[in-house]
Each structure stands twice: as C-alpha cells, then as structure tokens.
Amino acid sequence: MLKYIIPLILFIIMAVFLAIGLNLKPSEIPSPLLNKPAPVFSAPKLQVPTEKLTPADLKGQVWLFNVWASWCVSCREEHPVLNQLAQRQAAVIVGLNTKDDPAAAKNWLESLGNPYDVSIMDQDGRIGIDWGVYGVPETFVIDKKGVVRYKHTGPVTLESIQQIFLPLIAQLQGEQ
C-alpha cells in the first residue's frame, strides 16, 4: 500500500509546483538592483566606438536602459513602442546592444528607426551579467541619482508605457 501512496504524494507535490510555475509572470521577476546604484560600466558607443559611455555621464537625468539585440525577435516586437516613447522625450533612452554584431545592430537601427539617445555595445555580455539580465529585451528605469528604480523583463508594450513607465518617469523627473 505504501508503495502506491508515496508516488501519488510525489505526483501531487510536482503538480502543485507546476501549477505555481505556470502562473508566474516573467515580467515580474524581481531584480536585486532595485533601489541600489546602477552597476558601473564603461562601454563603447555603437555609432562612435572610439567614445565610451558610463553611468556617471547620465547623472542628473532620468534614463531608461534598454537591453536589445538585432537577433532578438521580442526586441523587434517592442521596437515600434520604443520609437513612440522616444518621440515623447520623457527620458534619455540608452540602448545596450548585447552579444551582437555591430554592423547588424547599426543596420537594424537604420531600417527600423533609432529610439536611443545613445546605444552602447556589450559584445561579450559582461555588462548584461552585471545588470542581472536574464534575456533580451529588458528595460531598467534609473533616477537622477543613478539608482535603479524599476526593471521590466520582456518587451515593452504601449500598455506598460502608459501604466508604468510614463507615470514613474514623471515622478522621478519631479524629484531632486
């Protein structure tokens, strides 16, 4: 009798964990960076590789840090939304082109439009690792003091722009 009950109990436990896992939302993955200073980097700019960008260059500004790649299908889905957000000029948008060929990335921006005030290269993915990136696309909101205030995993949507990003950016722009 016991040899039938133990597998049944194990099956029930596994089914419960499966049900919990299926109800999780990947866009709500918490980040250990929230309310902490943005990780430091110095990366070459995509358009001018001889110039570098660091978070210190962005102090005093609210900025979005969008991790993208030309090979990313979800990035293509969110790209028109980022172009619309860029037109609002609500915040500086910095792109982190990760694990990508610079020529392919430049072609992507030329053909689909460039929402980024600046895009930097992370060909080996080290900057993404420091930021805790699970996959592309991911977008972070950083305040004027250089503190990470929000992380969005997955493609940015018009709904998330209206309901999350714009209200948060407006709040952060009003802070000293």
Q: Which domains does the chain have, with CATH numbers?
A: 37-174 (3.40.30.10)
How far apart are the C-alpha atoms of 109 and 119, rounded to whole Å?
Answer: 10
**92-98 and 148-153 beta bridge pairing:** unpaired
Please report, as a single letter, which amino acid is at residue 75.
C
| Average pLDDT of the residues of the chain | 91
12 vs 164, which has greater pLDDT?
164
So what's the pLDDT on residue 98?
97
So what's the pLDDT on residue 23?
62
pTM assigned to the model? 0.84
Least confident of 12-16, 85-89, 113-117, 122-126: 12-16
Query: Is residue 17 scored above 70 in pLDDT?
Result: no
Q: For residue range 97-138, what is the model confidence (pLDDT) as tens digits? A: 999 999 999 999 999 999 999 999 999 999 999 999 988 999
Is the alpha carbon torsion for 31, 33, 38, 42 positive or negative? negative
Q: Which two tokens stand for residue 62?
A: 């609210």
Least confident of 28-37, 54-63, 117-126, 160-169: 28-37
Cβ neighbours for 36, distance < 8 A, ≥ 6 positions apart: 147, 148
How far apart are the C-alpha atoms of 134 and 153, rounded to whole Å?
Answer: 8
pLDDT band per the 50, 70, 90 thresholds, residue 16: confident
User: Per-residue pLDDT averaged across 11-35, rounded?
Assistant: 69
pLDDT band per the 50, 70, 90 thresholds, residue 96: very high
So what's the pLDDT on residue 28?
56
User: Per-residue pLDDT averaged across 26-31, rounded?
Assistant: 60
Left if phi > 0, otherwise alpha if psi is -120 to 50, otherwise beta: which for 99? left
User: Per-residue pLDDT averaged across 48-64, rounded?
Assistant: 97
